[in-house]
Structures are given as C-alpha cells and as structure tokens.
Amino acid sequence: MPPHTPDGDAAGDGTALVRRLLQAQFPHWADLPLTPTGSAGTSNAMYRLGTDMVVRLPRTAGAADDVDKEHRWLPRLAPGLPASVPTPLGRGAPVDGYPWPWSVYGWLEGENPVVGRLAEPAALAGDLAAFVAALQRVGPAGAPPAYRSEPLAARDRATRSAIDVLRTEVDVAAAGAVWEAALAAPEPQGPPVWVHADLQPGNLLVADGRLSAVIDFGCTGLGDPAVDTIAAWYVLPAAARGAFRAALGTDDATWARGRGWALSIALMELRHYRGTHERMALIARSVLGELLAGGEG
C-alpha cells in the first residue's frame, strides 16, 4: 500500500493524516483547530493550526530534504533580516503511512502579492531590495550551496531546449537574445553570498502593500547575487524595477545575469507546469512576457 500524501486521506484534504501525526508526536497541539490553507504551492501542503501556527508537510522527497536545512538555518538568518521568516516550532518525524520529516512553524500574516495588482509597487521594490541586501550580508561560514548555485552557463543546454519546446508560446529570437546577453555578462567577481534563490510571488507575503514576510527557504544557500534579482521580473512591474535595482546597487553584469536566471527559470517552469498547474504556468508566462517585451528593464 503506498504511503499517504498530505492531500490524499479519506477526508480528501489531508487533515486526518495531519491530526494523526500531531496526536502521535505533538499531543499538546493535537486538539487545536486544523484547516487546510489552500496553498497553491507545489512542494508542501499547509494546514493552519490554531490561530498562530501552521503545519507544513512535504509532498515530495525533494521537499522533505529541505526540512533539516530550514530548521538549522532559519533561526540563524532571521535576526539579520528586515522581514519576517518562518519560525520553526517543532520537527516531526516520519511514521508508518507518511515517510518524510515535517514541520510546525509560527503562522505569518499576509497575502501573496498578485502581479499587476500591487498596491505600493515602488515601496515593495524597496522592501525586496532591503531584504536581498540584508540576506547577502549574513556571514557565509558553514552555509550550504543554494539550490541554484551553478554557473548560469551550466543551464545552457536545458534553457535552449526549453526555448525550442516552447517555440509556439515564446518569441524564440527574443528569448535567444536575452539568454546570449546573460551568458556574455562577466561572472561574479566576489565570493558567493546568501540568496533565497526562489523569490517568486508564492514565497512572499505582503500586508498593506509592503513586504511582511518571506517564506519557503528550501532553495536557500550560497550563490550568485544575481539569482535573487529574479524578483524584479517575477514580482515587480517595469516601472518599479529601476527602484529595486538602484536600492540594491546592482551593476550591469549582475542585472544581465539576473535576466538570464529569470528567463531560464520561467522557461523551465512553463514547460513543466503548462497543462498541470495553471497558476504556476500563468506566472511563468507573465515573467516571459516582461522579459521579452524589449528593453533592458
């Protein structure tokens, strides 16, 4: 019999599985109200526990590998960051019927930003830049490599393949031009720095138009600072990108590599999610539209 998934118990939403896990490992929380959050994430299922906690269950073995990283590093990163990040409150163990570690975190208020409907895009640009800069200043001692820590050129074959597969959906010439410019940009001149490595709308929370929290640190680690500039195209409108770049002090080479990272990630996400996860595919299409519209913004 295959193991239960967080989305697949008899109730249809995973709550019975989560309740069983809590009763076995955190009985002092087991009787609190438990509600699926309806998260559109692809790696973890989320259940609000009481009023101030959330249970987070990996959906895949890859996501389960991130549990130890987050429990180790989030408490160390949090003090130096200007926005809230998840606070680990409990680490659950695998059990019969659920094969991976899982977590209880503090609940973070806010909503995912909706691209094209930001209340304060210029202010959000400043908030994002402040977060990225603060994360880069965290000391690198003992830090793991980021999920996206490879040189941009290592993604060349996969990126060109994605352009070819998506030739009916993207401007092949424009995509090729952005990619060639990114590959031609000088490599980072300094050592790798801390990056979140996945600053997409689903991993950000805003309140009253301002950045309130950054979540899902499964990709975090040391990498090229250009990786976190993907927020300029994944989150911000063109009019606010200049403010983000100026506040971060990003040079031309880093900006060009950032455009390449955003292009490569969006291409691969669109190829993977089209027809299976429309929200993620829609975001990827939006990013590609912004990148390929012309200009350097």
pLDDT digits (tens, 9 = 90+) for 16-72: 999 999 999 999 999 999 999 876 567 899 999 999 999 999 999 989 999 999 999
pLDDT for residue 294: 66
What's the CA gap between 290 and 41, in Å, rounded? 23
Residue 96 pLDDT grade (very low, low, confident, very high; cuts 50, 70, 90): confident
User: By the 8 A CB rule, do 127 and 113 touch?
Assistant: no
What's the CA gap between 56 and 108, in Å, rounded? 13
Q: How many CB atoms lie within 10 A of CB 193?
A: 21
Model confidence at 260: pLDDT above 80: yes
- Determine the 3-state secondary structure of 153 from DSSP: helix
**What's the chain's average pLDDT?**
92
Model confidence at 129: pLDDT above 80: yes
pLDDT for residue 13: 59
User: By the 8 A CB rule, do 256 and 182 touch?
Assistant: yes
For 228, phi and psi rounded to 5 degrees?
-80, -5
Global pTM? Answer: 0.91
User: By the 8 A CB rule, do 47 and 18 touch?
Assistant: yes
pLDDT for residue 10: 34
pLDDT for residue 5: 52
Give the residue from 18, 40, 33, 39 showing the smallest Cα distance to 104: 18
